[in-house]
Amino acid sequence: MGIHAFLAGANAVCFLKNKHKYAMICAWATMIDYDVVGLLIGEQSVTGKNLESGMMIGVSALSKEQKDIAITLGNNHSDEVDKFANVPHEIDESAILIKNAKNNLVCKIENILHLNSENDDLFVVAKFVRTKEDKAKDFLEAEEVFR
């Protein structure tokens, strides 16, 4: 993979669409403004293929205690298994939030960009609508999950 230039988190991107629950772990997420996040989502992601501009999604920055949840949401595809069968969560409009996460963000997708003509990876730009932070918890790092 090469250099680990930045710290990556374990961020659950989850939503409800057409009565189906979608979830994935996005390690490459960053703040791009005070209330806007950018998410890089791989072309293989079934969850990513179901994102649309204007929709509400949940972005949960998982806490250190939630490694098992990160593994559950990061494995398989949302159209193959029920990723939420044993994952405590709540639904806010179409956003699905993981309970007890470090941060829970209800976001509205503002734009979906294709950054590279060689693949179908997506860069999703989403604005915070509502946020909840637990300052007592530490962030779960992606390297702790996917070593």
Predicted confidence band of residue 118 (pLDDT cuts 50, 70, 90): confident
pLDDT at 127: 98
In terms of pLDDT, which residue wins out, 116 or 62? 62
- pTM of the predicted model, to two decimals? 0.93
pLDDT at 88 over 70: yes
Q: What is the largest CA-CA distance in the chain?
A: 42
Give the phi and the psi of residue 58 in degrees, each rounded to 5. -100, 135
Residue with tokens 């070593």: 147
Q: With contact defined as beta carbons under 8 Å apart, do 23 and 83 qualify?
A: yes
